Amino acid sequence: MPIYEYLCLDCGKEFEVVRPMKEADLPIPCQQCQGEHITRKLSVFNACSGGRVVAGASSGCAGCSASSCAGCKH
């Protein structure tokens, strides 16, 4: 199963969860504060190797102007 990275918007905790792909976008509480304001970071499978991934954004990475990391040429 793939590993997904999540970022808690409440306390800033980053954590990884192994879960089925179909559950990747299901809500999950923060492992540190149990907060529910969680955003999923891009997985290693489609993360840019160049610029930093913008936390919580689905609008691509900071290193390029592509609308998604699939179009990132870095």
Q: What residues line the site for Zn ion (CB under 5 A)?
A: 8, 10-11, 13, 30, 32-33, 35
In whole angstroms, the minimum distance from the beta carbon of 65 to Zn ion comes to 31
User: Would you say 19 or 64 has its CB closer to Zn ion?
Assistant: 19
Q: Give the Cα separation of 5 and 42 in Å (integer).
A: 7
DSSP 27-47: ----TTT--S-EEEEPPTTT-
User: Would you say 26 or 70 has its CB closer to Zn ion?
Assistant: 26
In whole angstroms, the minimum distance from the beta carbon of 64 to Zn ion comes to 29
Q: Give the Cα separation of 47 and 6 in Å (integer).
A: 13
